[in-house]
Amino acid sequence: MTDTLSQAIENLMESYARSGGINHRSGNNLPSRETIHHLVADLETLAFPGYKREDGIDDRNAAFVIGELANRCARTLIEESARSLDYDYRIRGEKGCPAACHLEAREITEDFFMSLPDIRSILMQDVQAAWEGDPAAKSIEEVILSYPGLEAITVHRFAHQLWRQGVPLIPRMMSEHVHSRTGIDIHPGASIGPGFFIDHGTGVVIGETTVIGQRVKIYQGVTLGALSVSKNEGNAKRHPTIEDSVTIYAGATILGGCTTIGAGSIIGGNVWITSSLPPGSRAYVPQGGYILKDSDPGGSCC
């Protein structure tokens, strides 16, 4: 057995050298998935203290508990961001300076923490949208404690901020972690306005260049995706724009970077859309399977 195992290990090392797929053995390693998962949990607690974990917070110790947590998050974000920045230099064929990466990571972390009050303000609008938009919601507390859509948008708002700050790897790691927990796939590059509500949520996909306005509500199985494009078009806008106060029902698919759904529209279940709709449109699939579009706000609705 020892000889067999030794040979297997030798073969594995040869496969790493031949095919790649091993973490960097020179310079900094890549960001740690486990560490990023812990960071996500800590950020969720900063967003909603006392809800996500038992932190023993009360009026007497809140500043101390939040301060300890914020300091832990900051140290983690600096370390993991420095690793990400070092990786970014390497894939561009440049030699990064560890001290410079660490300094840039500190600046990123400072800017990120300064954004947290604004992120929390937006998140509270998301909570209110869920509470008002779901007749089954019995309380604000229930929404914060149990709604997967809120969990997904909470992590997205943190990941999107880091994405805007140009942090490699970490935003996507955060979004894929919450994707695995909720079944909701939101790319960190997607721009989403306040008052966003995902009801039920399972199977929702929101692509990288999607732009969503304020007070938008979507249901399970909705895809805001791209039409097929080549790799060299990856920096173009490939995903739709959803204007304010749009409702999109379960299973709808809206594709394309030139596709805009006008404000106040209602998109019915299982509709397939690849062209723009004016404000106040109603789109649904009647019996027979054809898409009807009606820009009259008083027209038929699914």
Do 42 and 151 lie in one domain? The reply is yes
- Clarify whether residues 45 and 143 are in a common domain: yes
Q: What is the pLDDT of residue 51?
A: 83
Tell me: do 166 and 271 sit in the same domain.
Answer: no
Q: What percent of the chain has pLDDT over 70?
A: 91
| Chain segment 16-42, per-residue pLDDT in tens | 888 877 766 555 689 999 999 999 999
Chosen domain end from 184, 219, 244 = 184
- 39 in the same domain as 170: yes
- The yes-or-no verdict on residue 202 having pLDDT over 50 is yes
* Mean pLDDT, residues 252-274 taken together: 97
Q: Is residue 12 part of a domain?
A: no
Query: Does residue 18 fall inside a structural domain?
Result: no
Same domain? For 44 and 136 the reply is yes
Q: Which of these three, 124, 155, 184, is where a domain ends? A: 184
pLDDT at 100 over 60: yes
Same domain? 57 vs 158: yes
Looking at the structure, tell me whether residues 132 and 59 fall in a common domain: yes
Q: What is the pLDDT of residue 20?
A: 77
Which pLDDT band, with edges at 50, 70 and 90, does 288 fall under?
Answer: low
pLDDT tens string 118-156: 999 999 999 999 999 999 999 999 999 999 999 999 999
Question: Domain range holding 43?
Answer: 25-184
Long-range CB pairs of 25-30, under 8 A, 24+ apart, other chains included = 27/86, 27/90, 27/96, 28/82, 28/83, 28/86, 28/87, 28/98, 28/101, 29/83, 30/83, 30/84, 30/87, 30/169
Helix (H) or strand (E) holding 43: helix 33-47
Average pLDDT rounded to a whole number, residues 104-112: 97
pLDDT at 299 over 80: no
> Would you say residue 47 lies in a domain?
yes
Q: What is the pLDDT of residue 298?
A: 38
Judgement on whether residues 159 and 33 belong to the same structural domain of the protein: yes
pTM of the model: 0.88
Rounded Cα distance between 7 and 3, Å, is 6
Picking from 186, 184, 181, the residue whose alpha carbon sits closest to that of residue 171 is: 186
CATH code (residue 93) = 1.10.3130.10
pLDDT at position 24, please? 62
| pLDDT tens per residue, range 44-78 | 999 998 887 666 677 788 888 899 999 999 999 99
- pLDDT at residue number 177: 98
pLDDT at 297 over 50: no
Residue 194 belongs to some domain of the structure: no
Total domain count, the chain? 2
Same domain? For 159 and 226 the reply is no
Which pair of structure tokens corresponds to residue 60? 């007497």
Any domain includes 4: no
Cα 242 to its chain centre, rounded Å, is 17
Nearby residues of 71 by Cβ (< 8 Å), 6 or more positions away: none
Q: Once rounded to an integer, what is the mean pLDDT over residues 186-195?
A: 98
**Per-residue pLDDT reduced to its tens digit, 71-85:** 999 999 999 999 999
